[in-house]
Amino acid sequence: MGVIPTDRSAAKQAAIKAVKWLIKQQDDDGSYQPLAEGLAGFHKVPYALAQSGQSGRGVRLCTWIVDYSLDEDGDLGATFGRQGPMERYYLYPSAWLVAGAQKLGQFGVSMRAWDFIASLQHPDTGGFLRTGPEAGLDDEQDMLSTAVAGLAALYMGDEAVATAAGDFLVRRWESQPTSGDRMYLMVRRGEAPVRVHADGLDQEYMLQVASTKGEPGPDGQWYFVPGLVAGFLARLSEATAERSYLKVGQEFVNFCETGGDDRYSTPRSGFFGWGASVLYALTGNVNYGRIAEAVATAIVARQAPDGSWLEPCLPSDLPSAQTDATAEALMILLETLDNLESGGAN
């Protein structure tokens, strides 16, 4: 028997409530309010609607995106720009949109936007430039953008881009401190880890699982970053039949397992559980199933009575964060349930 969430029916009911909430938020023209926040709110919605069997609504949103959010160069956010965290992580929303549009068969979005996203891959390292087309080659490349762009590359069938991104992320693991108590999430000037940064951004640049005294790191850390990396590397291993990617994906999840209890329970945990579920599907290792189960159970517990979630993994104070968080939680729950089921067959 496979490992499944403690109350699988509760997880399914949570997903149904989330779908109903997303449907209610969609305007007749396919868009989502507030329009002024653009990509910040709707970038994961096509993926979530495709995953939940609402392809018609997903197509309607993609049609609106072509008309109002896609420019002639293939960049998204043409009319409304990038708000909130999307200002710092330029291609993150675009990569999710490409993956979602590809799942829906909306090639007018995915194919037109993909070349632009791929152009942001560093030609030497394979990492992706965090701040977008204005960035120079010595500017920051981050694991978050690279993992999500790598997933989009897999959906697009672009093995060259996906493999280069995977190799970059493998080297990030190999270059982490030997102490094993922290992980640097960004590099610049080629592949030099960013250790000095602006005040108040510690969690964006470093994940600390323990202090020198062996105590867990601070709460609310960005476990979703190594979770997304692990899930992408596992899927890349599946696509290329190269098991070394899978092994490094396991190392990323194992690293997070030395963290505090918050690794399962906060909005920063969702993609950590998702990544563990992908590993479980491919290996049948019950420890990964246990992690995925714990995170899925916590996601269900955080759902608001109206069926939404209030905070996505990438912190945002924007009103549109509710739509983003709901689409994100729906994606994670549905794929986690599928992965937990298939992992039980191993």
Q: Could you tell me if 233 and 168 are in contact, meaning their C-beta atoms sit under 8 angstroms apart?
A: no
Q: What is the pLDDT of residue 5?
A: 45
Token couple for 118? 């791929």
Cα dist from 330 to 52, 53, 64, 105, 333, whole Å:
8, 12, 22, 20, 5
Q: What percent of the chain has pLDDT over 70?
A: 95
For domain 8-343, give the fold: Glycosyltransferase (1.50.10)
Q: What is the pLDDT of residue 179?
A: 81
Q: Region of 140 please: left (phi>0), alpha (psi -120 to 50) or beta.
A: beta
Q: Could you tell me if 280 and 289 are in contact, meaning their C-beta atoms sit under 8 angstroms apart?
A: yes
Residues 6+ apart with CB under 8 A from 345: 2, 284
Average pLDDT over residues 12-38: 96
Residues 6+ apart with CB under 8 A from 287: none
pLDDT at 2 over 60: no
Q: What is the pLDDT of residue 78?
A: 83
Q: What percent of the chain has pLDDT over 90?
A: 87
Q: pTM here?
A: 0.95
pLDDT at 9 over 90: no
Question: CA-CA distance, 182 to 188, in Å (whole number)?
Answer: 18
pLDDT at 1 over 70: no
296 three-class SS? helix
143: burial class by Cβ within 10 Å (0-12, 13-18, 19+)? buried
Concatenated DSSP letters of 231-275: HHHHHHHHHHT-HHHHHHHHHHHHHHTTS-THHHHSGGGHHHHHH
pLDDT, tens digit, 9 for 90 and up, residues 199-242: 989 999 999 887 656 666 677 899 999 999 999 999 999 999 99
Q: Region of 82 please: left (phi>0), alpha (psi -120 to 50) or beta.
A: beta
pLDDT at 31 over 80: yes
Q: What is the pLDDT of residue 213?
A: 60
pLDDT, tens digit, 9 for 90 and up, residues 110-165: 999 999 999 999 999 999 999 999 999 999 999 999 999 999 999 999 999 999 99
How much is the mean pLDDT over the chain? 94
CA diameter of the chain = 57
Cα dist from 292 to 103, 234, 274, 327, whole Å:
23, 15, 6, 18
Between CA 329 and CA 63, with CA 114 as vertex, the angle to 5 degrees is 70
Average pLDDT over residues 61-90: 93
Helix axes 92-104, 107-118, angle to 10 degrees: 150
pLDDT at 270 over 60: yes
Q: What is the pLDDT of residue 252?
A: 97
26 three-class SS? strand
Residues 6+ apart with CB under 8 A from 15: 52, 330, 333, 334, 337
Average pLDDT over residues 281-295: 96
Average pLDDT over residues 86-96: 96
What are the b/e assignments for 270-296, b being 16+ CB within 10 Å? bbbbbbbbbbbbbbbbebbbebbbbbb
Is cis: bond before 34, omega within 30 of 0?
yes
pLDDT at 285 over 80: yes
